[in-house]
Amino acid sequence: MSKSTMYKCIAGLVAGAMLPATSIAGTAHASMSAEGSRSISNVGSPVTDEQLSSWDISVFFDGENLPAGTGTLTDGEEIYQIQCAMCHGEFGEGASGYPKMLGAPMDEFIQTAQDGEDNVSIRGVNNLWAHAPTLYDFIRRAMPFFAPQSLTPDQTYAVTGYVLLLAEVIDGDVEDIDADYLRSITMPSADNFYTDTRPDIKNVRCMADCYDYEPEVKASALGGADVSVGAVE
Ligand code: HEC
Tens of pLDDT, residue by residue over 98-143, are: 999 999 999 999 999 899 998 888 999 999 999 999 999 999 999 9
Tell me the CA–centroid distance for residue 144 and ligand 1, in Å.
6
CA 118, 121, 127 angle in degrees (round to 5)?
95
Tell me the CA–centroid distance for residue 94 and ligand 1, in Å.
9
Tell me, using a 6 A CB cutoff, whether residue 99 lines ligand 1.
yes
Name the residue of 98, 100, 109 whose CB sits within 8 Å of the most ligand 1 atoms, as the mutation to test its pocket.
98
Asked whether residue 207 carries a pLDDT value surpassing 60, the answer given is yes
Q: Which domain holds residue 93?
A: 73-192
Domain-embedded: residue 231: no
Tell me, using a 6 A CB cutoff, whether residue 83 lines ligand 1.
yes
CATH number at residue 84: 1.10.760.10
Residues 149, 44 within the same domain: no
How many domains, the chain? Answer: 2
The arithmetic mean of pLDDT across residues 30-38, rounded, is: 58
Tell me, using a 6 A CB cutoff, whether residue 84 lines ligand 1.
yes
Tell me, using a 6 A CB cutoff, whether residue 88 lines ligand 1.
yes
What pLDDT shows up at residue 123? 93
Tell me the CA–centroid distance for residue 148 and ligand 1, in Å.
10
Residue 109 gets the label, from left (phi > 0), alpha (psi -120 to 50) or beta, of alpha
Estimate to the nearest angstrom the gap between the alpha carbon of 201 and the chain centroid: 24
Asked whether residue 19 carries a pLDDT value surpassing 70, the answer given is no
Residues 80, 176 within the same domain: yes
Tell me, using a 6 A CB cutoff, whether residue 123 lines ligand 1.
yes
Domain-embedded: residue 64: no
Average per-residue pLDDT in the chain? Answer: 82
Max Cα distance, the chain (Å): 72
Asked whether residue 29 carries a pLDDT value surpassing 80, the answer given is no
pTM greater than 0.85: no
Residues 24, 125 within the same domain: no
Q: What DSSP assignment string belongs to the chain?
A: --HHHHHHHHHHHHHHHHS-HHHHHHH-EEEE-TTS-EEEES-S-PPPHHHHHTT--PPPTT-TTPPS--B-HHHHHHHHHHHTHHHH-TTS--BTTB--SS-S-HHHHHHHHHTT---GGG--HHHH-S-HHHHHHHHHHH-STTSTT-S-HHHHHHHHHHHHHHTTSS-TT---B-HHHHHH---TTGGG-----PPPP-PPP--SS--SS---B---GGGTS---BS---
Tell me the CA–centroid distance for residue 101 and ligand 1, in Å.
9
Residues 94, 16 within the same domain: no
Residues 13, 100 within the same domain: no
Residues 132, 179 within the same domain: yes
